Amino acid sequence: MSATTPEQAGVTIEATDGSQTIRLAPNYWPFVVPALVVVGAVIVFPWAFTLWMSVNSWTLGQSRNFAGAENYLRLASDPRFWESLWHTLTYTFLSVVAPMFFGTVAALIFDAKFPLRGLLRGVFVMPMMATPVAVALVWTMMFHPQLGVLNYLLSLVGIPAQEWIFNANTVIPSLVAVETWQWTPLVMLIVLGGLASVPREPFESAEIDGANAWQQFRYLTLPMIAPFLMIAMIIRTIDALKSFDIIYAMTQGGPGTASETINIYLYNTAFSYYDIGYGSAMAVVFFIVIVALSFILLMLRQRSQWIDQEGK
């Protein structure tokens, strides 16, 4: 390809002489077409197939029948599905709130200048880059009720040993702790990007007017980084709803079904019971839940911007 470069230079010289003045509007669509084809094959086709399968009754190895809304009605009356929906929402709520809090605090710290900032920030980002399954295995060892290091650490401060992921009551909070450990850095990075765009001047005048650090944060920083907080929150919500690796590798939805989220139940339905029709219907409903929640957050974001402008 580089062999054409000299010719190219020749054309350029000719053109600057004014001998070629035809100017075509560049056509950019050919650049996008290959990606559209791949997206069509790998994303659109599966969706069309899933929608079609969701109105069929089909378990692998058996015959397929058109079933209409049967799968969806079955979902509505399936207590295990409602339970998994509840687990998903609890898990998601906690996995948004905790990383949002810690991520914002971390961003405020890393926005300032101090020794070894670059190195510490690099280490802070590592959990989100680490392979989730590998991380999950090590956390499982740390959660071990007898030999785990976490119960030992608790004993040092006089807290009785916990059963962590091995107890139905503590399994979701324990998984959320791992999720928080892994994904707080993403929130930090997004908020850090927001803080970098905050202008200095208002803070200088606030300082002169005698505003303390908390007031400056509450009335200047927070409103200015609000759009970034919303983006972080939307992304975190989507990712937490879809969380699979950590839960599957650590508990597979157990003990019993105590940590079975929709994603895990969907996996079991499709790939343990090979109930393709029912699994497809669940995938459709799951997707609707994700889109609906993201949409609500997007609306909130637009509304908050609107209120902002109203205030001015």
Q: State which of positions 282-311 bind other proteins (CB under 8 A).
A: 283-284, 286-287, 290-291, 294
Binding residues for other proteins restricted to 98-137, rule: CB under 8 A: 102, 105-106, 109-110, 112-118, 120-127, 129-135, 137
- 166 is an interface residue for other proteins by CB under 8 A: no
Minimum Å gap between C-beta 121 and other proteins is: 7
d(CA 22, CA 17): 13
Beta bridge partners of 13: none
Residue from 3, 6, 29, 157 that binds other proteins (CB under 8 A)?
Answer: 29
Report d(CA 81, CA 265) in Å as an integer.
8
Nearest approach in angstroms of CB 12 to other proteins is 5
Of 118 and 160, the one with the shorter C-beta distance to other proteins is: 118
Reduce the DSSP state of residue 237 to 3 states and report it: helix
Per-residue binding string, other proteins, 246-275, x by CB under 8 A, is: --xx-------------x--xx--xx----
Name the residue among 219, 309, 278 with its Cα closest to residue 60.
278
43 binds other proteins (CB under 8 A): yes
Q: Does 158 bind other proteins (CB under 8 A)?
A: no
Residues 169-188 that bind other proteins (CB under 8 A): 181, 186
Find the binder of other proteins among 141, 161, 296, 299 (CB under 8 A).
141
Binding track, positions 54-93, relative to other proteins; x by CB under 8 A: ----------------------------------------
Q: State the minimum distance, in angstroms, from the CB of residue 250 to other proteins.
A: 10
Provide the β-strand partners of residue 65.
Answer: 57
Of residues 26 and 311, the one with the C-beta less far from other proteins: 26
Residue 218 CB, shortest distance to other proteins, in Å, is: 19
Radius of gyration of the chain (CA): 26
Q: Among residues 96 and 284, whose Cβ is nearest to other proteins?
A: 284
Q: Which of residues 199-228 bind other proteins (CB under 8 A)?
A: none
Say if CB 265 and CB 248 are below 8 A apart: no
Instruction: Decide: residue 278, CB within 10 A, 0-12 exposed, 13-18 middle, 19+ buried.
Output: buried
| 3 state DSSP class of 310 | helix
Task: Tell me which stretch binds other proteins (CB under 8 A): 28-36, 68-76, 90-98, 200-208.
Answer: 28-36
Least separation, in Å, of the C-beta of 312 and other proteins? 25
Exposure of 126 in the CB half-sphere (CA atoms within 13 A):
8
In contact, 91 and 236? CB cutoff 8 Å: no
Q: Measured from the CB atom, is 155 or 169 closer to other proteins?
A: 155
CB closer to other proteins, 29 vs 214: 29
| 105 sits in which H/E element | helix 79-111
Distance of alpha carbon 155 from the chain centroid: 34
Residue 77 is given by DSSP the state T
> Quick check: 125 and 185 in contact, CB under 8 A?
yes
Q: Identify whether the C-beta of residue 239 lies closer than 8 Å to the C-beta of residue 257.
A: no
Q: Would you state the structure tokens that stand for residue 27, as one six-digit string?
A: 């056509």
